[in-house]
Amino acid sequence: MDRFTWKAVLACFGLAIFGCFAGSVVLGVDTGAWLLPLSGLFMSIIYPTLNSKGIGCFERRQHGAAAGVILFFTASAAALGPLAMAAVSDAYGG
């Protein structure tokens, strides 16, 4: 990230993710089977960049605590998000 502006990188990769999702919707299941996993490659840049920027907002002595809070909420969302999606799917008979 020393060579590029982090905001520009996030914008480009965000557009690439959107492009993968939009392509999956427009081009169908067969193309989506390739584009959705490809979107994960672009997503893998987003989390560590935002994590680093979030931690960097705190004083150096607080970096560990900030990283712990960010990791807690990330792990909670990763655990509870699919559970919530499954509950909604079950409620609608999916």
The verdict on 35 and 50 lying in the same domain is yes
Mean pLDDT calculated for residue range 10-33: 96
Q: Give the domain extent around 68.
A: 60-94
Tokens of 32: 């989506």
Q: How many domains does the chain have?
A: 2
Q: What is the pTM of this model?
A: 0.71
46-90: per-residue pLDDT in tens? 988 889 999 999 999 999 999 999 999 999 999 999 999 999 999
The verdict on 25 and 53 lying in the same domain is yes
The verdict on 18 and 48 lying in the same domain is yes
pLDDT value, residue 4: 86
For residue 2, pLDDT over 90 is answered with: no
The verdict on 51 and 66 lying in the same domain is no
